């Protein structure tokens, strides 16, 4: 289908696409148009990655806008939100406006109301629904990218419920669901009352194969010699082979450590094919990586990058990830070894994709479990860059002939698994049931069940009554924690929640409880709006209620670290002793009831939360990033992630404290501020001045400048001695509101000759730890 044949798009849109070199629609795109994508009809497009899914979304959204509507594009990751935003912003030249909103990149709701296209993560959309953003009811088109993630145990239910709510809000709305090729795209289409476009078509050919011995055998029967030389690994041979043709590769492995080790080895291969110009540019990137964070991980990554290779996993900071991804797309980096993060993230295609590890450690499976077909296909789908590569190659590695056969059967010839809703899991339901009640989607038990009937879960469920049973359990949980109130209907008896209740019993219960009114309490409303898991909220509320004295920072950090919203640090072998010891030292500070040491699992969790809490406390005692990453064996990205989550949870905890009239609101606020800035209590004032962070605040404090007022009155020479440059000093003084911020002609004054205040005698090597954090420092040390 030719682009010219399209109708209903905003004037200028077709011109725009033509200038981008698009003349013809790809077959799946044409099929989508025929299925009514540009007429406002709902559609599920299950097509491989990089075969023009975004264009299907764009055509649907643009035609909806041309009809006077408004479109929402839902993505699974923040990084994808910015990627899509950048893509759609090109439409501004023909007058279509774009806005983004995610947790960290905030736009006010009113501002979004004026935009034609809004890009958001699924959680953000859920949050907007809960908070009743009124523009949501103006939507005429919703695109859900990577809709197969509904299958995800953690985040899938959010997407599922959000789509159901948006559809309820806007009955005639067009839904465009973009999916990888999955086993049951038809079921998803049925659920969404949508047409289905399901195809394997790709714009560039993808060859899949298995490497074994010295040969690469493809699915089309062809064979390519790739000899493994000397002691090199299979993946090194494959990377070298394609690099000699000028192609880049992506190696997927199953652990961070493997990714780092592989990148180091592959650097030896890549460095041979790098020009002098490239080497200079890579050196610049390496420098940027080192500057972004001063840790061992960063140093290792920088060393690799100098060689033209890189690793990629969630331990990297987001800046570093972006640097690596961009450099790979610019063909500066020749190879990336990555954990599965990369397969799900932003677009980083390569000529050759090597899936080295197809088994992953899974404790629930008791050892290594094979990856899902869908997952492996997602990785393999990264092969081939449209317009750059003649074709893409995806290679699995076999160590034996049997392996080779198994890989063909399991991944190359196999169809991906079907998408199954995970909504009936209790953690998911408890969150979404509360939100559904709090935001007024259901006022009675009957309405609640009726709403849940509109989810994919209901349409897939074979086990009658399961959803009702779990829902009842969840309602009781919410009621007993004072998040909801139930009135009327039959009082639930013990066996009403029992899993042994027969279907017949349930039917009678439903009729008798059908008119039961459900209402969120004020606390329940707060929890829903704060986007907390009710169980997290309950834990925090109980913890705060339990505190007889002002909670310490460590106590609060451990408290938020043990909620289900915080991803706990893993307790390494030997660390149960270390943290067991810390537990006995600081037991009095911890909030709530500690499990007994004999309850193995729960005690382990408690200690793991203590470890996470201690990490946060160390951060808030100004320990350096590199010390922390080394001590806790984490990457810079993990540290920032933990700090970020703690900030969010403590912010929520502050609201909860206010809600329950806790007297510890200020203590929570202070703990939050300390973790946000990574400083001791005494620096909180200084750090509120623009341009002053944890490092500068400490240096200022050391020369006797303890609060913003001192910045206004103190001797400029003293201030300058604490800060490196005159320019930064001026900016800071200006931000502090000093009348004459100019540093012209001021010389740094060393020592405490500044006069009014005595300089602290503390060296910068031993940053002050606040309150009781001091004593643990020595006993825990660098374990």
Closest-CA residue to 569 (of 642, 647, 477, 469): 642
Binding segment toward DNA, per CB under 7 A, in 41-49, 310-318, 503-511, 660-668: 310-318
Q: 261 or 425: whose CB is closer to DNA? A: 261
Please give the sequence-ordered ranges of beta strands (E in DSSP) within 379-483, or none if there are none. Answer: 392-397
Is the alpha carbon torsion for 736, 739, 742, 747 positive or negative? negative
**Which two three-digit tokens encode residue 720?**
């300058």
% helix / strand / coil in the chain, to the nearest 5?
Answer: 50, 10, 35
Q: Which of residues 526-565 bind DNA (CB under 7 A)?
A: 529-531, 565
Among 168, 257, 550, 727, binds DNA (CB under 7 A): 257
To DNA, the closest distance from the beta carbon of 697 in angstroms equals 6
Q: Which of residues 311-340 bind DNA (CB under 7 A)?
A: 313-315, 339-340
To DNA, the closest distance from the beta carbon of 253 in angstroms equals 8
Among 53, 124, 148, 716, binds DNA (CB under 7 A): 124
**Are the C-beta atoms of residues 525 and 656 closer than 8 Å to each other?**
no
Among 39, 647, 707, 734, binds DNA (CB under 7 A): 647
To DNA, the closest distance from the beta carbon of 481 in angstroms equals 19
To DNA, the closest distance from the beta carbon of 765 in angstroms equals 15
Q: 27 or 370: whose CB is closer to DNA? A: 370
Among 43, 77, 474, 523, binds DNA (CB under 7 A): 77
Closest-CA residue to 53 (of 23, 86, 31): 31
**Which two three-digit tokens encode residue 106?**
């905030």
Q: Which of residues 671-730 bind DNA (CB under 7 A)?
A: 677, 687, 689-697
Q: Which of residues 616-645 bind DNA (CB under 7 A)?
A: 633, 638, 641, 644-645
Q: 84 or 586: whose CB is closer to DNA? A: 84
**Are the C-beta atoms of residues 558 and 594 closer than 8 Å to each other?**
no
Binding segment toward DNA, per CB under 7 A, in 3-11, 111-119, 136-144, 309-317: 309-317
Q: Which of residues 98-117 bind DNA (CB under 7 A)?
A: 102-106
Q: Tell me how crowded residue 568 is: count the other CB atoms within 10 A of its CB.
A: 20
H or E, element range at 675: helix 665-677
Q: Which residues are annotated as a binding site for ATP?
A: 29
| DSSP symbol at 410 | I
Among 29, 38, 49, 127, binds DNA (CB under 7 A): 127
Among 18, 137, 255, 511, binds DNA (CB under 7 A): 255
| DSSP symbol at 608 | H
Q: Which strands sit side by side in the sheet containing 43-46, from one edge to the other?
A: 98-101, 117-121, 71-75, 141-144, 174-179, 43-46, 195-198
Binding segment toward DNA, per CB under 7 A, in 71-79, 384-392, 597-605, 763-771: 71-79
Q: Does 78 bind DNA (CB under 7 A)?
A: yes
CB-based contacts of 390, cutoff 8 Å, min separation 6? 204, 205
Q: Does 362 bind DNA (CB under 7 A)?
A: yes
Q: Tell me how crowded residue 379 is: count the other CB atoms within 10 A of its CB.
A: 25
Closest-CA residue to 236 (of 352, 347, 315, 324): 352
| DSSP symbol at 383 | B
Q: 474 or 679: whose CB is closer to DNA? A: 679
Q: 169 or 261: whose CB is closer to DNA? A: 261
**Are the C-beta atoms of residues 352 and 380 closer than 8 Å to each other?**
no
Closest-CA residue to 376 (of 399, 348, 354): 354
Among 51, 174, 258, 469, binds DNA (CB under 7 A): 258
Q: 279 or 695: whose CB is closer to DNA? A: 695
Q: 623 or 654: whose CB is closer to DNA? A: 654
DSSP lists the bridge partners of residue 211 as 216, 397
Cα 390 versus chain centre, distance: 33
To DNA, the closest distance from the beta carbon of 79 in angstroms equals 6
Rounded alpha-carbon distances, angstroms, from residue 560 to 173, 398, 416, 760, 769: 39, 44, 38, 33, 21
Name the pairing type of β-strands 223-225 and 215-218.
Answer: antiparallel
Q: 628 or 697: whose CB is closer to DNA? A: 697
To DNA, the closest distance from the beta carbon of 268 in angstroms equals 13
To DNA, the closest distance from the beta carbon of 374 in angstroms equals 11
Is the alpha carbon torsion for 777, 778, 779, 781 positive or negative? positive
The 129-158 site mask, x for binding DNA (CB under 7 A), equals --x--------------------xxxx---
**Which two three-digit tokens encode residue 12?**
């200028």
Q: 68 or 366: whose CB is closer to DNA? A: 366
Q: 594 or 780: whose CB is closer to DNA? A: 780
Q: Does 121 bind DNA (CB under 7 A)?
A: yes
Q: Which of residues 160-219 bind DNA (CB under 7 A)?
A: none
Q: Does 570 bind DNA (CB under 7 A)?
A: yes
Binding segment toward DNA, per CB under 7 A, in 193-201, 260-268, 477-485, 603-611: 260-268
Distance of alpha carbon 652 from alpha carbon 669, whole angstroms:
10
To DNA, the closest distance from the beta carbon of 292 in angstroms equals 8
Distance of alpha carbon 1 from alpha carbon 647, whole angstroms:
51
Q: 135 or 201: whose CB is closer to DNA? A: 135
Alpha helices (runs of H) in 660-772, residue ranges in sequence order = 665-677, 684-687, 694-702, 708-713, 716-722, 726-736
Among 172, 221, 366, 745, binds DNA (CB under 7 A): 366
The values of phi and psi at residue 444, to 5°, are -135, 165
Say how many residues touch DNA, by CB under 7 A: 76
Q: Which of residues 445-484 bind DNA (CB under 7 A)?
A: none
In the block, which residue shows the tokens 């005639």?
A: 172
The 574-613 site mask, x for binding DNA (CB under 7 A), equals x---------------------------------------
Among 262, 376, 433, 703, binds DNA (CB under 7 A): 262
Distance of alpha carbon 341 from alpha carbon 364, whole angstroms:
21
The values of phi and psi at residue 435, to 5°, are -60, -40
Q: 364 or 751: whose CB is closer to DNA? A: 364
To DNA, the closest distance from the beta carbon of 158 in angstroms equals 8
Among 83, 389, 654, 659, binds DNA (CB under 7 A): 654
Closest-CA residue to 657 (of 546, 554, 770): 546
To DNA, the closest distance from the beta carbon of 524 in angstroms equals 15
CA atoms within 13 A on the CB side of 248: 25
Q: Which residues are annotated as a binding site?
A: 29
Q: 131 or 522: whose CB is closer to DNA? A: 131
């Amino acid at each position: 289908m030719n682009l010219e044949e399209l109708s209903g798009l905003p004037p200028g849109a077709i011109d725009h696409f033509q200038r981008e070199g698009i003349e013809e629609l790809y077959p799946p795109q044409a099929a989508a148009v025929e299925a009514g994508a540009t007429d406002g009809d709902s559609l599920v497009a299950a097509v491989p990655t990089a075969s023009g899914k975004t264009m299907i979304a764009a055509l649907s959204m643009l035609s909806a806008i041309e009809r006077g509507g408004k479109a929402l594009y839902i993505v699974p990751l923040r990084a994808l939100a910015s990627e899509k935003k950048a893509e759609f912003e090109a439409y501004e030249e023909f007058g279509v406006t774009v806005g983004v909103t995610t947790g960290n990149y905030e736009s006010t709701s009113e501002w979004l109301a004026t935009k034609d296209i809004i890009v958001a993560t699924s959680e953000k959309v859920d949050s907007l629904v809960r908070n009743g953003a009124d523009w949501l009811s103006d939507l005429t088109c919703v695109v859900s990218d990577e809709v197969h993630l509904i299958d995800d145990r953690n985040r899938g239910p959010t997407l599922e419920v959000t789509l159901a709510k948006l559809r309820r809000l806007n009955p005639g709305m067009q839904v465009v669901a973009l999916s990888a090729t999955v086993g049951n795209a038809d079921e998803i289409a049925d659920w969404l009352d949508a047409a289905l476009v399901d195809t394997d078509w790709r714009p560039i050919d993808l060859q899949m194969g298995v490497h074994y011995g010295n040969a690469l055998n493809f699915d089309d029967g062809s064979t390519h010699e790739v000899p493994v030389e000397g002691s090199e690994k299979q993946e090194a041979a494959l990377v070298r082979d394609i690099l000699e043709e000028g192609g880049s590769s992506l190696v997927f492995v199953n652990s961070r450590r493997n990714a780092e080790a592989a990148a180091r080895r592959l650097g030896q291969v890549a460095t041979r094919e790098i020009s002098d110009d490239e080497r200079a540019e890579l050196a610049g990137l390496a420098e940027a990586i080192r500057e972004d964070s001063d840790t061992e991980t960063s140093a290792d990554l920088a060393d690799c990058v100098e060689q033209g290779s890189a690793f990629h996993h969630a331990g990297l900071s987001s800046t570093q990830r972006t640097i690596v991804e961009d450099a790979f797309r610019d063909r500066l980096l020749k190879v990336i070894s990555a954990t599965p993060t990369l397969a799900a993230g932003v677009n980083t295609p390569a000529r050759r994709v090597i899936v080295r590890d197809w088994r992953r450690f899974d404790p629930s499976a008791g050892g290594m479990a094979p990856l899902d077909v869908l997952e492996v296909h997602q990785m393999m789908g990264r092969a081939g860059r449209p317009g750059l590569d003649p074709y893409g190659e995806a290679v699995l590695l076999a160590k034996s002939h049997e392996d080779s056969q198994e890989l063909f059967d399991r991944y190359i010839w196999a169809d991906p698994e079907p998408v199954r809703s995970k909504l009936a899991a209790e953690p998911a339901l408890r969150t979404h049931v509360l939100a559904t009640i709090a935001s007024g989607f259901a006022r009675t038990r009957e309405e609640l069940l009726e709403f849940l009937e509109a989810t994919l879960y209901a349409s897939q469920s074979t086990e009658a009554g399961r959803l009702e049973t779990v829902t009842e359990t969840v309602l009781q949980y919410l009621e007993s924690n004072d998040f909801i109130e139930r009135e009327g209907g039959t009082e639930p008896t013990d066996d009403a929640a029992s899993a042994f209740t027969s279907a017949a019993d349930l039917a009678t219960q439903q009729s008798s409880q059908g008119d039961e009114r459900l209402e969120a309490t004020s606390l329940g409303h707060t929890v829903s709006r704060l986007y907390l898991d009710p169980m997290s909220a309950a834990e925090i509320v109980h913890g705060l209620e339990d505190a007889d004295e002002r909670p310490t920072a460590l106590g609060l950090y451990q408290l938020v670290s043990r909620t289900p919203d915080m991803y706990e640090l893993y307790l390494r072998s030997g660390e149960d002793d270390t943290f067991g010891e810390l537990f006995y030292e600081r037991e009095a500070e911890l909030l709530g009831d500690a499990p007994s040491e004999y309850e193995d699992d729960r005690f382990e969790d408690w200690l793991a939360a203590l470890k996470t809490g201690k990490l946060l406390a160390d951060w808030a005692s100004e320990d350096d990033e590199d010390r922390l990453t080394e001590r806790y064996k984490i990457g810079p990205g993990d540290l920032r992630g933990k700090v970020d989550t703690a900030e969010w949870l403590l912010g929520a905890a502050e609201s909860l404290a206010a809600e329950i009239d806790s007297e510890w609101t200020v203590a929570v606020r202070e703990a939050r501020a300390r973790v946000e800035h990574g400083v001791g209590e005494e620096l909180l004032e200084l750090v509120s001045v623009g341009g002053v962070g944890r490092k500068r605040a400490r240096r200022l404090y050391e020369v006797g400048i303890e609060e913003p007022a001192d910045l206004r009155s103190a001797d400029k020479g003293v201030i300058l001695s604490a800060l490196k440059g005159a320019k930064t000093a001026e900016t800071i003084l200006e931000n502090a509101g000093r009348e004459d911020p100019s540093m012209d002609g001021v010389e740094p004054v060393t020592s405490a000759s500044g006069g009014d205040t005595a300089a602290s005698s503390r060296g910068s090597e031993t940053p002050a730890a606040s309150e009781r954090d001091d004593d643990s420092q020595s006993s825990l040390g660098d374990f």
